[in-house]
Homo-oligomer: A and B are copies of this chain.
């Protein structure tokens, strides 16, 4: 059984069904009926008027968002473990045309106010240094930890006072909402988020993510449409991306799937409370595991990534059922 990444999971059946249902001629690009419905659908979920665009990857969503918020000569503050720093091969630098990522530290890949202030204080306000224009946080974080509404708001207030944009990489936004059980608005626009990368692919989608623009950031929509096109991300048959996203939203499939993945992670966490490197809040579990222990689990057919020395990362997917995960939980407990 594979616990490498939710990235590799299968696609939810309603998403596949939606592709089949969309399979007739319609207007190209994003002027079809489905693409046009995205804004309405997300405005309902977020309880405010938002602008929503589809893109094919979370990397594209993040990079386009950052490019809209940061000039080429500006800087983006993020955690040193952030996906935008470590796993996008410079997509943020590419789309922003050379902005610099200023890196902070913090437990569980979360950025706290004090750390952001420390980074800010280290920047001289002169033309020789790239000035911060955006703060980017990941929800849930790369270590499966979740910012509370208050935590986001604290950072959002700082951004507002500084005139920075606030970007949220929500590749696992659904897992965060499933954990917090709060209104999506509470950890986004109400807390100061300008643009959200709303992840679908890790959560049962196939090839569609959504960018959500809140408040003033909606004025950037036209510019982002141009940037998306020149990034090669304006699919001619965009309705098949819109269809996927709408299927994820329909009947709260996005929450159902996320809850399932989170529950899987909880199973593991409960089986190995003393091994946890971070509290388990979403669908990722980081545990202390010696090389021998790792080998023993692998010998039993469980696949996962080592994470540095003496640790392992286990990611649960929306489609892994309890009876598939329990054997792993038991195997860990028995170590």
Q: Report A's interface with B, CB cutoff 8 A.
A: 2, 4-5, 7-11, 16, 19-20, 23-29, 55-57, 59-61, 63-64, 71-73, 86-91, 93-95, 97-101, 127-131, 201-202, 206-207, 223, 225-237, 240-241, 317, 319
Cα of A20 to Cα of B11 in the assembled complex, Å: 9
Could you tell me if A232 and B235 are in contact, using CB atoms closer than 8 angstroms?
A: no
Closest to A208 in B: B207
Query: In the complex, how many angstroms separate the beta carbon of A12 from the nearest chain B beta carbon?
Result: 9
Could you tell me if A232 and B11 are in contact, using CB atoms closer than 8 angstroms?
A: no
Could you tell me if A240 and B207 are in contact, using CB atoms closer than 8 angstroms?
A: yes
Cα of A60 to Cα of B57 in the assembled complex, Å: 13
Q: Count copies of this chain in the complex.
A: 4
Give 10 A-B contacts (CB < 8 Å), ordered by A residue.
A9-B25, A10-B25, A11-B23, A25-B319, A56-B232, A56-B235, A60-B233, A86-B128, A98-B98, A127-B228
Among A88, A98, A236, max chain B CB count under 10 A is at A236
Could you tell me if A55 and B207 are in contact, using CB atoms closer than 8 angstroms?
A: no
Cα of A93 to Cα of B94 in the assembled complex, Å: 10
Q: Which residues of chain B come closer than 8 Å to A87, judged between CB atoms?
A: 128-129
Cα of A95 to Cα of B94 in the assembled complex, Å: 9
Could you tell me if A89 and B128 are in contact, using CB atoms closer than 8 angstroms?
A: yes
Could you tell me if A73 and B232 are in contact, using CB atoms closer than 8 angstroms?
A: no
Query: In the complex, how many angstroms separate the beta carbon of A9 from the nearest chain B beta carbon?
Result: 6
Cα of A316 to Cα of B229 in the assembled complex, Å: 24
Q: Which residues of chain B come closer than 8 Å to A94, judged between CB atoms?
A: 72-73, 97-98, 230-231
Could you tell me if B56 and A207 are in contact, using CB atoms closer than 8 angstroms?
A: yes
Q: Which residues of chain B come closer than 8 Å to A228, judged between CB atoms?
A: 127
Could you tell me if B8 and A27 are in contact, using CB atoms closer than 8 angstroms?
A: yes
Could you tell me if A25 and B8 are in contact, using CB atoms closer than 8 angstroms?
A: yes
Q: Which residues of chain B come closer than 8 Å to A234, judged between CB atoms?
A: 57, 59, 127-128
Q: Which residues of chain B come closer than 8 Å to A59, judged between CB atoms?
A: 229, 232, 234
Partner of A226, one of B56, B73, B236: B73
Closest to A319 in B: B25
Could you tell me if B91 and A99 are in contact, using CB atoms closer than 8 angstroms?
A: no
- Knowing A100-B90, A237-B7 touch, does A63 contact B25 (C-beta < 8 A)? no
Q: Which residues of chain B come closer than 8 Å to A71, judged between CB atoms?
A: 223, 226
Q: Which residues of chain B come closer than 8 Å to A235, judged between CB atoms?
A: 56-57, 201, 207
